[in-house]
Amino acid sequence: MIIKQKGTYDIYGVDAKKRQYIKNVLDTLSDKYGYGFIETPVFEATELFHRSVGDESDIVKKETYDFKDRGDRNISLRPEGTAGVVRWFVENKLYGNLTDPVKVFYCEKMYRYERPQSGRQREFTQWGFECFGSDFVESDAEVISLAYNAYKLLGLENVKVKINSLGDDESRDNYRKALVDYLKPYKDELCDDCKRRLETNPLRVLDCKIDGDNDILKNVPKIIDYLNEESKNRFDKLLELLDLLEIDYEIDSNIVRGLDYYNYTVFEIVLNDSLALGAGGRYNNLVESLGGESTPAVGFAMGLDRVVEILDNENIEIPIEDSIDVYILGESENERNTASILTQTLRLNSFSCEMDMMNKTFKNQFKAVDRMNAKYLILLKDDDIKENVITIKDNKTREEEKISIVDLVDYLDTHI
């Protein structure tokens, strides 16, 4: 027997309906904020992720699914969504003469080779959105608002934004120098990866999963103390906007996202002050680094699988439709033919409808009506069909009546 691969999953039944409900909430909210859906390839040139995510990141060094295709090209399954969206933006030269921001969202499968654990699989679904073209803090606030309110709409109450600023290139360079000066005396106490990162990309030391609880890293200099005046004013303006939007936030100097493309705003959204839900920030240099013209951008991403698990853990009831509108019963060939016609007619008029496909007796068809929790049932009889009438029954009140077949859709429109 062939079984699914480690770190993957099959979704069906109630679990599938839960995920579909969550996706619908996210899709609808994204649309209300003016973000259009985008779908990018599941595999891209490996170079894309090296140039965007960074050669020194754990994602690229340890977690990407890399392979050679039959044309001897280096290919990777996408480990995150931003790089592919930026590649699309650059490839289509959308950076030229922007009069309005380009805003897109995605909800797609991603792949990382890591140890499967609760809420983290090797194949996972990521919902994210990107805004290109605006360098104003209003776009930062909009992205944070969309992410924050998505969780609130899904029923999570104790949600908070933890936010920090990396500042502009000057501020980040000043901080990088201060960080190296602080860490060098402790170099021998760091893990091997951090020793290497200290030379190649010091900010990645702050993302270390091994040394994260080390007192050395807990006492590093705070980047907010190294912001120049322009960067500080920008950050203050963003916080004012978050106050106006009544978004619960706190400044957290420990959020220093090590990915190469971040500058200015970086943030995480957490539940109960500690449980990470998703993260994002501004990346004004990424479009240019991938071959486009300098274009400001800001975005956010979260793992859908993790959200599903958290909603379950928080005992938040997701509304699941577990009933159908109509079940049509019939036994003779003529009755079954009529059932097929009516089933199609009702489905095309937006009613959920089922009929027997297993040649059951009437008795067993009635059992199916209850299993499927049908709101109404239609009982077909050859004699009635000759008169162009049917018997329809409210499965809750048990009241039934005969109506003309041609009036069926109008009847259901009135009663459902």
pLDDT in tens, 302-318: 999 999 999 999 999 99
pLDDT for position 57? 58
pLDDT above 90 covers a percentage of the chain that reads: 74
Residue entry with tokens 């409900």 = 21
pLDDT band per the 50, 70, 90 thresholds, residue 54:
low
Say yes or no: do domains 13-168+228-313 and 326-415 share a fold.
no
pLDDT for position 115? 85
Extract the tokens encoding 109: 């499968």
Q: What is the pTM of this model?
A: 0.88
Instruction: Decide: 260 and 163 in contact? Cβ < 8 Å.
Output: no
Identify the weakest region by mean pLDDT among 254-268, 284-298, 387-401: 254-268
Average pLDDT taken over every residue of the chain: 91
pLDDT band per the 50, 70, 90 thresholds, residue 114:
confident
CATH number of 13-168+228-313: 3.40.228.10, 3.30.930.10, 1.10.3720.10, 3.40.1260.10? 3.30.930.10
pLDDT for position 337? 97
Residue entry with tokens 């922007």 = 98
pLDDT band per the 50, 70, 90 thresholds, residue 58:
low
Q: What is the pLDDT of residues 224-271, one digit of tens each?
A: 899 999 999 999 999 999 999 999 999 998 787 656 678 899 999 999
> Which of residues 393 and 56 earns the better pLDDT score?
393
Domain boundaries, given as residue ranges, for the chain:
13-168+228-313, 326-415
pLDDT for position 301? 96
- Superfamily of 326-415 according to CATH: Anticodon-binding domain (3.40.50.800)
pLDDT for position 273? 86
